């Protein structure tokens, strides 16, 4: 029996067994169209156009009063214009514990796009690597007028030849609220180790700390938020040089109904984050994002964005289109 047939038999057996012991099964079938056009004329970024479609299917088996669940599924993205079935499907298999204000995930699960901003984690990574492989723990607490939320992640990005080439990211992202005032803190550490031809290890470590304070309006049709703080990044080579950077990071957002405008500005040293947006490596970078949600229904969401990039006083543009369809929500209507 070939490996693919054996894998299929084991997977079907697992689904059959879990179906028998689970209290309920939740289906999540989805489609997403991705359109991303980047008109960069800068040494820090390169122009590209991405047109793609992603289909996904996930089955969640709930047990133990819905506090514990196990999900299996996957997604496949095919880039328009490329050969069909040229990419490898992204498989999902993970355990979830959820109770009150605590969530714990373990396995390969869809990545949350709200953990880190673009300066720390560029958006194109979500296209080609939609799953986090490791663990996530998130919880929140309230003490009168004080609210606290914290998320910790461990993402094993790469593992080849039993550690000959490996990479992982570990970090935290949190918010501390007092009425409309908010303090945010974010940190992650990236480790990459690779065997060299001489039998040694080439080890590179990167990291960052982002600390901000800000204000957010509440109970108003027009939503406004403002944050300002410090971004620190570093790059370390074992048995080599260390590099550090620091700069001012500020962000403001204005939203009303289906319209939103967000401005971000970074001024300081070039950043040292391979996973961050490369435009921040200029050390003098601002962007203005204008977005409109042109479809907003329980089963369909469509967002178009137009972004102006100011890179060392040079102006560049990009456009993004996202159309998501949640098939199960449409069927249940």
Q: Please give the DSSP secondary-structure letter assigned to residue 281.
A: G
Distance between CA 272 and CA 245 in Å, rounded? 7
Tell me the C-alpha distance between 314 and 235, whole Å. Answer: 27
Q: Of 24, 16, 135, give the one whose Cα is nearest residue 69.
A: 24
> Which CA distances in Å does 176 have to 104, 219, 294?
20, 19, 32
pLDDT score recorded for residue 238? 80
Q: What is the pLDDT of residue 194?
A: 86
Q: Are 70 and 58 in contact (CB under 8 A)?
A: no
10 burial via Cβ count (<10 Å: 0-12, 13-18, 19+): exposed
Q: Give residues with Cβ within 8 angstroms of 36, minimum separation 6.
A: 48, 49, 50, 51, 124, 127, 318, 319, 320, 321
Both tokens of residue 183?
Answer: 């303090």
pLDDT at 3: 47
How far apart are alpha carbons 302 and 17 in whole angstroms? Answer: 38
Cα torsion through 188, 194, 198, 199, rounded to 10 = 100
Cβ count near 7 (within 10 Å):
11
Split the chain (333 residues) into runs of 10 and give each run's mean pLDDT.
52 55 80 94 86 95 84 93 84 93 95 89 90 96 93 90 82 95 97 80 92 91 96 90 95 96 97 94 96 94 97 92 89 66
**276's tokens:** 């961050």
Structure confidence at residue 109 (pLDDT): 95
CATH of domain 3-332: 2.40.160
Are the beta carbons of 173 and 203 closer than 8 angstroms?
no
Closest CA to 264 of 128, 123, 165: 123
Instruction: Return d(Cα 137, Cα 139) in angstroms, integer.
Output: 7
Report the alpha-carbon distance of residue 296 to residue 258 in Å, rounded. Answer: 8
Contact at 8 Å (CB) between 163 and 192?
Answer: no
Half-sphere exposure at residue 228, Cβ-oriented, CA atoms within 13 angstroms = 2
């Amino acid at each position: 029996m070939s490996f693919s047939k054996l894998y299929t038999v084991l997977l079907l057996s697992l689904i059959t067994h879990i179906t028998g012991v689970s209290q309920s099964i939740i289906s999540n079938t989805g489609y997403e169209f991705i359109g991303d056009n980047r008109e960069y004329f800068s040494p820090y970024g390169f122009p590209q156009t991405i047109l793609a479609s992603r289909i996904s299917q996930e089955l969640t088996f709930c047990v133990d009063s819905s506090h514990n669940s196990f999900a299996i599924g996957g997604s496949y993205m095919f880039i328009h214009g490329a050969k069909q079935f040229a990419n490898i499907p992204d498989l999902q298999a993970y355990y979830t514990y959820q109770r009150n204000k605590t969530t714990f995930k373990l396995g390969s699960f869809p990545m949350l796009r709200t953990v880190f901003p673009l300066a720390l984690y560029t958006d194109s990574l979500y296209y080609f690597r939609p799953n986090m492989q490791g663990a996530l723990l998130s919880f929140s607490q309230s003490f009168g007028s004080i609210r606290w939320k914290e998320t910790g992640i461990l993402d094993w990005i790469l593992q080849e030849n039993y550690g000959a080439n490996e990479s992982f990211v570990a970090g935290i992202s949190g918010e501390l609220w007092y009425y409309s005032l908010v303090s945010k803190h974010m940190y992650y550490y990236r480790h990459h180790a690779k065997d060299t031809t001489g039998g040694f290890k080439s080890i590179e470590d990167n990291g960052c700390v982002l600390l901000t304070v800000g204000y957010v309006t509440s109970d108003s049709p027009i939503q406004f938020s403002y944050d300002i703080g410090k971004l620190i990044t570093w790059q370390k080579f074992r048995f080599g040089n260390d590099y550090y950077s620091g700069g001012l990071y500020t962000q403001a957002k204005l939203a009303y109904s289906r319209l939103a405008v967000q401005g971000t500005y970074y001024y300081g040293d070039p950043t040292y984050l391979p996973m961050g947006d490369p435009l921040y490596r200029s050390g003098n970078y601002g962007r203005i994002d204008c977005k409109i949600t042109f479809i907003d229904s329980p089963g369909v969401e469509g967002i178009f964005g137009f972004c102006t990039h100011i890179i060392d006083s040079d102006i560049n543009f990009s456009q993004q289109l996202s159309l998501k369809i949640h098939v199960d929500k449409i069927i249940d209507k």
